[in-house]
Amino acid sequence: MSYRKGSKVWVEEKGEGWLEAEVVDAKERAVVVLTSQRKKISVLPEKLLPRDTDEDLGGGHVDDMTKLTYLNEPGVLYNLKRRYALNEIYTYTGSILIAVNPFTRLPHLYNEYMMEQYKGVRLGDLSPHVFAVADASYRAMVNDSRSQSILVSGESGAGKTETTKLIMRYLTYVGGRAVLDDRSVEQQVLESNPLLEAFGNAKTIRNDNSSRFGKFVEIQFDKTGRISGAAIRTYLLERSRVVQINDPERNFHCFYQLCASGKDAELYKLGHASTFHYLNQSKTYELEGTNNEDEYWKTKRAMDIVGISRSDQDAIFRTLAAILHLGNIEFSPGKESDSSKIKDSTSNFHLQMTATLLMCDPDLLVSSLCSRSIHTNEGIIIKALDCAAAVANRDTLAKTVYARLFDWLVENINKSIGQDVDSKAQIGVLDIYGFESFKHNSFEQFCINFANEKLQQHFNEHVFKMEQEEYKSEKINWSYIEFIDNQDMLDLIEKKPIGIIALLDEACMFPKSTHVTFATKMFRNLSSHPRLEKTKFSETDFSISHYAGKVTYQTDSFLEKNRDYIVAEHCNLLSSSRCPLLSGLFTSLPEESVRSSYKFSSVASRFKQQLQALMETLSSTEPHYVRCVKPNSVNRPQLFENQSVLHQLRCGGVLEAVRISLAGYPTRRTYAEFVDRFGVLVPELMLGSYDERALTESVLQKMKLDNFQLGRTKVFLRAGQIAILDVRRAEVLDNAARRIQGRFRTFIARKEFVKTKEASISVQAYCRGCFARKMYKIMRETAAAIILQKHVRRLIVQRNYQEACSAALLIQSCIRGFIARRYFSTIREQKAALVIQSFWRKRKVAMLFQHYKRATIAIQCAWRQKLARKELRKLRMTANEAGALREAKNKLEKKLDDLTLRLTLERRIRAAGEETKLVEISKRDKIIETLSAECAAAKSSARSEHDKNLLLQRQLDDSLGEIAMLRSNKILKAEEEKQNSNLKNIVKSLSEKNSLLENELSTARKSSDDTMEKLKDVEGKCTHLQQNLVKLQEKLTNLENENHVLRNKAFNISPKTVSEKFSASIGLPNSEQKHIFETPTPTKHLAPIPHSTGTRRQKLPVERHEGNHEILSRCIKENLGFKDGKPVAACIIYKCLLHWRAFESERTAIFDHVIEAINDVLKAKEADGRLPYWLSNTSALLCLLQKNLRSNGFFGTPSRRSAGSLGLGGRTGQLVGRGDTLAQVDARYPAILFKQQLTACVEKIFGQLRDNLKKEISPLLSVCIQAPKSTRAQPGKASKSPGAGAQQPSNSHWDNIVNFLNLLMDTLRENYVPSFFIRKLITQLFSFINIQLFNSLLLRRECCTFSNGEYVKAGLSLLEKWITDVTEEFAGTSWHELNYIRQAVGFLVIHQKRKKTLEEISQDLCPSLSIRQIYRICSMYWDDKYNTQGISNEVVSAMREMVNKDTANLVSNSFLLDDDLSIPFSTEDLSMAIPATDYADVELPECLHLHPSVQFLLKVS
């Protein structure tokens, strides 16, 4: 394939496996690429693989590998890597599921709700999940009546065991729970896991809990598809691990658990694990995060659960301890050269302990270890064994005992679980070791890889079969496709007589054969086989080219591990044991076996037979594959090692499946997808309407491609053809881009030219303007100079004139001012005196008014306080009768006392403040009086002196003349002016003091006004509290009355009888009935009710009408309809009960009859259609009971008229009269219980109606969810035009939902269901719609697209219109219930998502959604309409970090919504929301006129 500059490719790299790269230069023999690490590399074109140019669109990943544009090794690897980074651990490859171990808890993926989502869904409709594979196998078994198998494979630590548990858990969920001994089959199988792990798991280099055996769990089902039994089969236990381990691996867990068991270990003379030879070959004794002692007790508990008796448990652990002691027995050379004996006292101690624990003869044990007996015709020959043979004999005994013990455990587990021999169909779950390739590979790895080769052949056949089925379904020609399998590899290993296993068995039959002779013979016979190679540096090692790669095996221990001798001495030794378990494991051998001390049995041949049986089982079933992948070797989350995963993909056969697909038609595209991608190659055919199949064929013919196939719905392309099409598409798009760029550059150049031209014209105009402005400035300055000269001259003359004028005016003003000031001083003195007098009079009157006001307020407060105390005493006397409200009363009294205290304190403070102010005012008044007196005295003295001066002046006029008189007048005037100035200062100071006093007075008035307002608020609160107290007392009285009834009846009727009757009448479980009989404890002792003759008279009418149940049954069973919106049945039943005085009876069965009749009607087949009718009737009847019954008539004899005082007509007229004119009826215990039963009945009908509506609307919603697959606009046509509007919902889907809602509203209105119930029903129904749509959005990737967002948004607009049409009275908050799906859809359809920050998304776009839900949407979103990119990687990374941090803190970190199954109302809500029903004008239906029990209703009417 030729590459061009800009092509996206994959380049191979040693560290990362494959790297993303882009071609920067294409030469003839080499291509230069730029890798994602910004390195330039020159490689050959054939070493590159093409990469999809549009891989960043649509989220950058696919949930099915077959949807990859280029199905190659790096495409598969990086698709898994991208999905793993988003916590999408499951991926399909066709029908194969790849599961990547997340190494963290993801409980939201495995809860019961998730299982319900995958139940019955076709594989591939929802996101990949292990539940989908399990459901596909279960559905295939049920539909085809054929057994299924699920093969779970992967290397150690990949999560095989956990995946197997999840599969069994799901199968139990869908297959029901067949209970045996109070435990389900699935529970018993899972509870056996700790036991099998203890005896079959061990630490290896890669995994601390590696299964060293294969396990096939067969779950059996009966004809109805329910689990009826199970069985566990095991394969190839690694027996050699018992006697030989490598550092840092460990032996089987059970040995370490037994050594750490404390007292039990002391009982068996066991010490630390390091003291035993079978355990101290490795220095690893403890596992991180695991306590051996705790695990020991878990193993014992598992034995108890499985059903192993204590004696058998003791025998098992004694056997394990015996194996450890047996390993510590050492041998030394005996007297003869080829003999051996027990080495020392330590070994002898372990020998004695082994014999004791095995309950056998010590001498016989020594004889079986150090010698062999050979039976001949002449007799028995005893042959001694040397030290090496004795050690090998000891190890053989240990391995044999352990292997048989393990088989015995598996057999007992199967017995405990129980198998169904009559089962016709099974589902087998195979949890088997994956392909292994280590630095040193021995016999175990050879057998494991042989098993994987067999499974791979089965896998290849299955994949090829699936390919064939798809080719057949598309009706294409596939006969010439070549299928390459690994049969030559299987022939190399198992073919007789020259296969590796046959040669190994032959070598094992000869005692003197070694691994060298085996290897030599193998190379001699199989050297020409292409899969077998001889290593360069070893004569005995060989390499086999498996499907997953080349593996080199060391043959050093092949012969020893393949030999499984049945030693007669060992069998005789253990069969003679006094332990029943051991003796049962080793039965006596037949005579032909006894003749030879060694009975050879090949481990490889036996394993081949088991494997063949397994393959036959799998061949008889339909297989399903789960490939588990371990993303890293350090068991850390969010770490993806490319090389490790690539190796596992090869070992797991995933890449082999890719190779098989590449051999056929690896690229499959629907015609719409093909035209959408490659329609640009034939633009002349894209105009108008066209046939997509013909257009696809035209494109391929124009590109001159051969060997393609056109199916019914898809086009099938050979490997490499899609790359040719992509190259041509890239060229067309490049040419188009160049033309667009050329046009755009022309537009930019012309735009720049126009801008330059306009700029030059602007510069010229500016220059001309500057010149003109300069000339204008010169002319303006000349004219301004002339004007300035003129104005300056005028100003000089004006200034001289003004100076002269101002001088004259100054002289005149000074003279006039002197005269005016002298006159003003006289007038001012007179006015000051008047002001002082007026202020003094006003102050005197104000003081008198304040005195009267304070006295009035004090009298009012005292009077109100007296009234409050009197009212408080009344309240105390009233509150003493209600013991339960004492605490509330005390609190109110305390509050009242506090308020009173605060009021008195405020009054005292205010009185003290006023007194101090009065004292200060009086002091200041006295000062003013003294000052005014002084002022008056001064004035009088001045006047007298003035008079004297006048007399003196007259005398001096005669004697001294005019000059002396003028001088004396001047001196007197100066003194008077001084005195006047002093008086003025005194008056000024007094006025200032007066203003201060006025300010203080105003503040005091304000504080008093505030205090009065506070006092008024306190009085209002007191009155409000008094009203509340009265209401509480009334409610307490009612509760005490009802409590008294229930308590009195509890002494007469046993709770068991009442609860049984109640539960039988309403059909509720006991757990839901307990709260009905719980009543509040009375706060004081109530006297017993006196039995009067009136009680007997009350019972008589009821007993007389006990036989009238038939009329009630007819009212309940027949549909009596409605009259003026009132339910006739409820009104007739209430009238009858009221007439028969059933509510006042202390004992009656009529209420039980009514409830039972209603329940019988609800259990009938046609009950679903009558639920609205009965919801209306029962709610109306309950409302009548709540409005017209009371329970306070038990504290005295009820004041009612006797039956004899009124005639039948008069009494009946009163009973069936209008509700508003009739007093409430005193209810007894049966009536109260009937009201509770009726309440439960209303809730039951409402819940049943709601659940039925959910079931009916679920298929409509599922059709809407699936609709985008079939009704979405074809992407190859004009669906991608930017001007296209939102996709309109299909009338056959969303309109069906609207029609369903309209029909529901019509049905509810026809039955006159109260608007309260309609509002609650519609609200919960819309909540269910929100949950279903939102969860489907998070579970189906095809729903999380741009076009589907438009589709759902258009559908939501129809629902919004419907909600608006039915008004808020019936819809309530239904639109708010769609909040989650509205915000999610709004996020899907916004443009430029990459520019949105995390805060904008979480706070503005989706405030109701959690970060986990937003992260799920972002990880699954892809734009199928415009092929734009989604949220930026930075925002996705930030959300992933937040999700990972919250995972450990959340109890349930599910991103799905849960359905609300609660009843959304209470009894109080019903009484307040449902209006009262006037039953008086409801007449008896004609069909009941002839019945004698209701003639009283006809008489009344």
Contacts with 951 (C-beta within 8 Å, 6 or more apart), sequence order: none
Q: Which of 127, 161, 602, 1347 is catalytic?
A: 161
Residue 307 is a catalytic residue: no
- What distance in Å separates the CA atoms of residue 914 and residue 920, rounded to the nearest whole number? 10
Q: Where are the alpha helices (DSSP H) in 475-538?
A: 487-494, 500-509, 515-526
| Beta strand spans in 1189-1270 (E) | 1189-1190, 1225-1226
SS3 string, 928-961, reads: HHHHHHHHHHHHHHHHHHHHHHHHHHHHHHHHCC
Of the residues 35, 207, 1083, 1271, which is catalytic?
207
The two structure tokens encoding residue 304: 């108890």
Please say if 1296 is a catalytic residue: no
Q: How far apart are CA 1250 and CA 1459, in angstroms?
A: 12
How far apart (Å, rounded) are the C-alpha atoms in residues 40 and 24? 9
- Long-range Cβ contact pairs of 972-976 (< 8 A, separation 24 or more): 972/945, 972/946, 976/942
Residues 6 or more apart whose CB falls under 8 angstroms from that of 438 comprise 205, 445
* Torsion of the alpha carbons at 239, 241, 244 and 245, rounded to the nearest 10: 170
Name the catalytic one among 164, 211, 597, 1336.
Answer: 211
Is residue 605 part of the annotated active site? The answer reads no
Using alpha carbons, select from 194, 214, 190 the residue that is nearest to residue 257.
194
Token pair 């009757």 is found at 1061
Tokens of 550: 């080349």
Give me the catalytic one of 79, 156, 1159, 1188: 156
Q: What is the dihedral of CA 999, 1004, 1007, 1013, to 10 degrees?
A: -120
Q: Are 232 and 414 in contact (CB under 8 A)?
A: yes
Count of beta carbons in the 10 Å neighbourhood of residue 182: 6
Between the CA of residue 1241 and those of 34, 659, 1061, 1373, what are the distances in Å? 75, 65, 14, 26
Helical residues (DSSP H) of 1067-1170, grouped into ranges: 1093-1104, 1109-1117, 1128-1139, 1150-1163
What type of residue is 269? K
Question: How many C-beta neighbours within 10 Å does residue 1334 have?
Answer: 25
Active site residue 436: yes
CA 193 to CA 163: how far, in whole Å?
13
Give me the residue label for tokens 């892809």. Answer: 1422
Angle at which helices 1150-1163 and 1055-1066 pack, to 10 degrees? 30
- Distance between CA atoms of residues 862 and 870, nearest Å: 12
Nearest-angstrom CA–CA distance, 1222 and 1213 = 10
**Could you tell me if 44 and 52 are in contact, meaning their C-beta atoms sit under 8 angstroms apart?**
no
What whole-number distance in Å separates Cα of residue 1432 and Cα of residue 1440?
13
Provide DSSP, 1399-1410.
HIIIIII-SSS-
Q: Is residue 1227 within 8 Å of residue 1190, measured between CB atoms?
A: yes
Q: Can 434 be counted among the known catalytic residues?
A: yes
Helix (H) or strand (E) holding 428: strand 425-431
Q: Is 156 a catalytic residue?
A: yes
Q: Please tell me whether residue 698 adopts helix, strand or coil conformation.
A: helix
- 191, 218, 436, 1156: the active-site residue: 436
**Which one is catalytic: 157, 679, 1193, 1430?**
157
Phi, psi of 1253 (to 5 degrees): -65, -40
The yes-or-no answer on residue 210 being catalytic is yes
Could you confirm whether 2 is annotated as catalytic?
Answer: no
Q: Which of 210, 562, 1330, 1335 is catalytic?
A: 210
The catalytic residues are 156-157, 161, 207, 210-211, 434, 436
